[in-house]
Structure 1
Amino acid sequence: MTKKARLIYNPVSGHEQMPKNVADILDVLERVGYEASAFRTTPAKKSAQKEATRAATEGFDLIVAAGGDGTINEVVNGIAFLEERPKMAIIPAGTTNDYARALNIPRDNIGEAAEVILNNKTRKMDIGQANFAGEEQYFINIAACGSLTELTYGVPSEIKSALGYTAYLIKGAEMLPHLTENELRLTYDAGVYEGKLSMLLLGMTNSIGGFEQIMPDAQLSDGLFQLIIVKPADPVKLLRLIALALNGKHVDDPDIIYTKTRSLKIELVGKSIGQKLPVNLDGEIGDYCPVTFKNLQKRIEFYVGE
């Protein structure tokens, strides 16, 4: 029986390079035995997500997500909740491409990224699940909350390219006068932290904003999140921590909690009760605290690079 593959691509990703590469991607899929077709996403909300669900429920064997991290996240959300899930491949065409970096997918050549499928090397990957009062959302790279969270995604890609980690120090200094501390209760495998914090990160991979040292012990299919809790909002301490984190030297700092966990529950306590504290999933606002996270081990099988 012929296998079917569906390419879901964002036409405006990668400086609108995707449309001119569609035929070549479909050709690669057909060379490995798939009956291939394509879907061009629209500006409609959850366009990629809805198409991924439709393709999966109609029996497609492979879904190829082509675009930035946001497009890939949508496709994952379209299939992660299903009992029977197709394989996935990704073709990065965004700015950061954190997940492609983690899977060793070429990030600067769409054709080479597509040809990873020819190697027929796959790996079952962990997927993060966030439960907001019964509404489930999924993420593949990172969940974050706290007043310093904007630092993770708030630095324009062109500035990162030019200045590297110095760009984050500059952005951090810009944000410091506006920082607030949130009072939270965090329940995770190793215990409970209750108190003030400026940021927490719950990571699936070691690549955050293009940097690979922030979560140095990350594994891709061990069923464990990497949890980083940043306690202080003191400007001097925070700038020091930012500098340490971007070089991977923060994990033993007394102002940091760094641990692994299969689950995490976040609750507002003290003066934070009643506040709207957003939770960022793969770079976009998912919903607001409280929230419970669970690691879905080896949930989706991805094509990976060598």
Structure 2
Amino acid sequence: MRQAHSRAAGGSFGFVPSFTGLLNATTIGALSIAALSAGMLWLVGIYASGLRDPRYLDGWVLAGGMALQLLFHVAIKTSVFAPKSIVRWRKVHIFIGYLLIAAFVSHCGFSLPDTTFEWALWSGFVVITLSGVFGTYLSWSLRAKGGIDEHISFERIPTRRAELADEIAGVVASRVPDAAAALPLPAPPYEAWIADLYTNHLRDFFVGPRNFTGHLIGSQRPLKQLTDEIDSLTRYVDSRTQQKLNAIRALVVEKDQLDFARVHYGLTKGWLFVHVPVTYGLIVLSVMHVLVVYSFSSGAG
């Protein structure tokens, strides 16, 4: 969060470079996934042209990929990975997940299920896929916003938000010594300008959580609107008042980061309650599916 403060003080939020880097990485990943998916579908076609049931091939591809995904969940829970390697393995986890979409579509024969059991399998995979895509988006938005302060837990956010509200009120109420007080001239209305800024733009911002939609889509626009108001006022005040406005600006940036942390933590907790249980449920259904398929195939033989 301190890094976010320094970026804000310099007038740049670091969004464009981060977005460009993320876009390049996303493009390369998408092209790799598309190429591998096309290659797998081509192999399935060759397998089918040999008068074999292609569902056995893409079915075992699905089973192997899901087993790897399950091992990733188990490794995270048991702390097998080192902290630095978790990020790398999570990327592998996401990459395999996208490849499994092609395997799933191929296994379904590009059609909807027929029986109740097939619908259960189909629905479970669709829910996992959608929640996985949403989890990837949460990770992207976290990087696009510059991260969050790891020392601030979800439970402490309301307390810190109240502290920031008190701090901003104290800074606004504090008086900057007037360097021209000895001169027989009216004092510049700097304090009145700051009070007006606080009343019209900042007080409501510090009362509670704000800009949920902006944080959800990783947008910097709400924060930029506030900092632009502060920056435009900074140009017309003396150096001492500029220091006061810089302190106000830093508190605004921290409050914005706090609001983003609240959205990110809340969505992540909700996402885990969907993605992980459904994953384990689908594993059980998949094992039953394999047993049923091979029981019928051996009986037919």
Give me the TM-score of the superposition, normalised by structure 1: 0.26
Q: TM-score, normalised by structure 2?
A: 0.26
Q: Relative CO higher for 1 or 2, CA cutoff 8 Å, sep ≥ 6?
A: 2
Structure with bigger gyration radius: 2
Q: Larger helix proportion, structure 1 or 2?
A: 2
The structure that is strand-richer by fraction is: 1
